[in-house]
Structure 1
Amino acid sequence: MIRRTTEGLVRQDLWQGKVIVVLGPRQVGKTTLVRGLAASVHKDYLYLNGDLSSVQELLSSRSYENLAAVIGDRKLVVIDEAQRIDEIGLKLKILIDTQPETQLLVTGSSSLELSFGVNESLTGRKFQHFMYPLSFEEISNNQGQARALDGLELRLLYGSYPEIVNRAGSERRYLDLIVDSYLYKDLLYQETVRRVDLLKKILQALALQLGSEVSYNEVAKTVGADPATVEHYISLLEQAFVIFRLPSLSRNLRSEIKRGRKIYFWDNGVRNALIANFSPLHLRQDTGALRENFLVSERQKIKQYHQRYSNDYFWRTYTQQEVDYIEESDGLLHAFEFKWNPRKRASFPKSFREAYPDAVTQTISQDNFIPFLSGDRA
């Protein structure tokens, strides 16, 4: 059992008079975490699985009396996969307002319905945490840094879902199961997702453009759909924690790309499963893109887990000058270039340095990526 950083964050928020919401993809261990935590702090807790039709029916009423009858005198209630329960935000609001002494611990594998219902209804009434496939830091803390480094190529190829990390030798089989059975599960409940085949084509197109700027028009031409539909499906995939977008930074130069975006996958293994390519790194043409995806997605995880906040970008001009990754916090820019070979030190474009003279720059290589994935900056 690999200890998850999110557990400590959730534990410190217990019994503060707030609903605790844990969001993240399916199969990353949310159920294991909340049930284990609940059992450790209050043995007589109530567990409700929102995927079950019986639970959906049990929580179908808006009536306080009916909701209170379900909970009874339990002081800790876990509602798993809460996005499957109609009007869950309103029902959580009713419960927290009327039974503030009861701790509500809620998970969701999609921010779709859950966010629409929860954010509006629970303003000022919730603590929200995120949970993703295992971070490199979590693996290092559990296995030791040397072993984690030895397994780095496996993480670049097969990703870091807990079952993948714990099933050495059967990674591809379990990745196929995750992609085929869980990746789209919440999206398929949405009326706006009518074409699973189109969803898969869009994901495959994004997988092949990893590390490059993404044009909705080009993806639309590739998959045979209109750009508005492509953008809508990409937004849904982002809310389901399959991908995330990184916008372009544009402030000082006319030549800067102003509405560009890169799209990354939360897990390298999912990306490689979509294109059915698990070849070793030395045989691949996309090794640089895999390393970039790994570094950027891991950085996003560590920022969430350590509660460090910034606005994140990439930078590019129409003349193809670029900076891989930029964080802005407290008015200061931190710019990073990814060069895995430490002997190939990056040269930041002169136009970027002149436009943003106060930016702190750093090259991330195999020699110094561990501090970067621990949340450190230059």
Structure 2
Amino acid sequence: MRRKLFNDLYQHLPKKEFTILTGARQTGKSTLLRDLENECKKDKLPTVFINLENKELLSLLDANPLNVLSFISSQDQRTIVFIDEIQYLGDPSNFLKHLFDDHVSRIKIVASGSSAFYLDDKFRDSLAGRKRIFQLRTCDFEDFLTIQDKVELWNEVLNIRKLPGYKSLMIDRLKVEWERFMIYGGYPSVVTEPDIKEKKEILSEIRNSFIKRDILEAGVRNELVFHQLFKILAEQTGQLVNFNELSNTLRVRSETIHNYLRVMQVCFHVALVRPFYSNLRKELVKMPKVYFLDNGLRNSLINNFQDIPSRSDRGELWEQTLFRILADQHDLDHIRFWRTADGKEVDFVLPDVENPFAIEAKFNRNLIKESKYQVFQEAYPAIEFNFGYLYPWSEDFFRRNLFKGFAQT
């Protein structure tokens, strides 16, 4: 089954701008390029597929960007050239710029690349107006179900959303799938692996081997400290990032912590959420919070795959999951948190979206104490305030506003 980003990518193929597909390693970028290539062939569009892990092809294109034109046979149509792992080129930004400026009428490039490409400042500067970036994250719940060929469960989610009084005969199955989604995350190879032990092994491989490649390509010097920081952040998901404290704990400079965190962000593993404040005198928190972009990676780092009800970190895990839901619907820069010096806080505030709202994550509805959030509501009456809770489990879970971004498709 195809990822839902496929449709957006396919619709962009006729556009003049080059198409750039980005995302963490092992999120399925290569598979998605192959799906696009196959669809183009069905539509009888001329295509070329170049995988730059092939050293001969890499050497050829590094020698001269115009060598890519030798693979084009069509003189009547613009050829779609798929380039996988474009970051291996010596100067990928110049390669794309040169082909766009001089040969855009003959060639449409659809390229995937890992983080090393996007660490290059020239990518942003020289390709302005020449490319559109699409980010492929690990699976959200819709992709999680559909790539397992459980489309009937996703259709049931849509039925629940459409019919206010609808009682689902599949609600218990949806609960099992949702909890598995929270524990093992959305890497496609993990999602499609039925054996639990193998799921853990695949996550371990991603955690060790593939992230090691990110470390090498980013030029990180101290791999041990990087991994130690990664694990600490996994244990502290949803908490404030105190750079000085981390620096003292790991015995490295604060600048090193900042640099390693930047690498983790550019590699699409973590996101930093900034504080929201207006002019309340007590709003003086400046440190960001950290969240992971995949629960499975986070749980692998802390080696905790326990069932949700028995987990000591179930509240943090739910908050982490709620962040990912919001990240799939909104620009990361729009997600903030609110906290005062005396400890009052709201987990997520989105003040810059069309209809501003805030959500406090609570694992269980019985844990909610509404009076704790009165200060925020009085200070920001124009921001709609809601609670996002996981239990008690019912159809209403999929009817709440936190799902309105992707459950209406």
Task: Please list every run of 5 or more consecutive structure 2 residues that lacks an aligned counterpart in the other structure.
Answer: 155-169
1:152 corresponds to which of 178, 184, 187: 178
Q: Is the 8 A contact 2:318 2:362 kept in 1?
A: no
Task: Name the CA distance, whole Å, in 2 between partners of 1:363 and 1:256.
Answer: 21
Alignment pair present for 1:335 and 2:358: yes
1:163 corresponds to which of 181, 185, 189: 189
Q: Is the 8 A contact 1:310 1:328 kept in 2?
A: no
Over 3 Å counting, the alpha-carbon distance change for 1:265 and 1:75 in structure 2 is same
Query: Match of 1:11, SS?
Result: helix
Structure 2 equivalent of residue 314 of structure 1: 337
Task: Name the CA distance, whole Å, in 1 between partners of 2:31 and 2:346.
Answer: 39
Q: Is the 8 A contact 1:160 1:267 kept in 2?
A: yes
**Number of residue-to-residue matches in the alignment:** 370
Over 3 Å counting, the alpha-carbon distance change for 1:194 and 1:246 in structure 2 is same
Query: Match of 2:82, SS?
Result: strand
RMSD value, Cα: 2.3
Task: Name the CA distance, whole Å, in 2 between partners of 1:117 and 1:58.
Answer: 22
- Per-residue CA deviation, residues 177-214 of structure 1 (Å, 9 max, x unaligned), is 111111231331233x1111111001011011112111
Task: Please list every run of 5 or more consecutive structure 1 residues that lacks an aligned counterpart in the other structure.
Answer: none
Structure 1 equivalent of residue 167 of structure 2: none
- Per-residue CA deviation, residues 81-118 of structure 1 (Å, 9 max, x unaligned), is 21221211111111122222322101112165465342
Alignment pair present for 1:180 and 2:180: no
Query: Match of 2:241, SS?
Result: coil
Q: Is the 8 A contact 2:335 2:348 kept in 1?
A: yes
Query: Match of 2:381, SS?
Result: coil
Q: Which amino acid aligns with 2:186?
A: S
Identity rate of aligned residues, in percent?
Answer: 29
* Cα offset, 1:231, TM superposition: 0.9
The structure with the greater share of residues assigned to helix is 2
Q: Is the 8 A contact 1:179 1:270 kept in 2?
A: yes
Over 3 Å counting, the alpha-carbon distance change for 1:98 and 1:148 in structure 2 is farther
Moved >6 Å (runs of 4+): none
- Per-residue CA deviation, residues 111-168 of structure 1 (Å, 9 max, x unaligned), is 6546534222211111111111110122345521444432222222211111111112
Alignment pair present for 1:361 and 2:365: no
Structure 2 equivalent of residue 118 of structure 1: 123
Alignment pair present for 1:23 and 2:51: no
Q: Which amino acid aligns with 2:273?
A: L
- Per-residue CA deviation, residues 17-72 of structure 1 (Å, 9 max, x unaligned), is 110011101111111111111121136522222333333212213x4543433556
Q: Which amino acid aligns with 1:328?
A: P
Q: Which amino acid aligns with 1:20?
A: T
After superposition, residues 264-279 of structure 1 pair within 5 angstroms as 264-279=291-306
Structure 1 equivalent of residue 279 of structure 2: 252
Q: Is the 8 A contact 2:334 2:353 kept in 1?
A: no
Q: Which amino acid aligns with 1:69?
A: S
Task: Name the CA distance, whole Å, in 1 between partners of 2:373 and 2:303.
Answer: 36
Q: Which amino acid aligns with 1:100?
A: V
Q: Which amino acid aligns with 2:86?
A: A
Structure 2 equivalent of residue 203 of structure 1: 230
Task: Name the CA distance, whole Å, in 2 between partners of 1:341 and 1:188.
Answer: 42
Radius of gyration: which is bigger?
Answer: 2
Task: Name the CA distance, whole Å, in 1 between partners of 2:58 and 2:403.
Answer: 40
Q: Which amino acid aligns with 1:167?
A: E
- Per-residue CA deviation, residues 202-261 of structure 1 (Å, 9 max, x unaligned), is 101101111211111112222221211001100111000111111111222121134121
Q: Which amino acid aligns with 2:127?
A: L
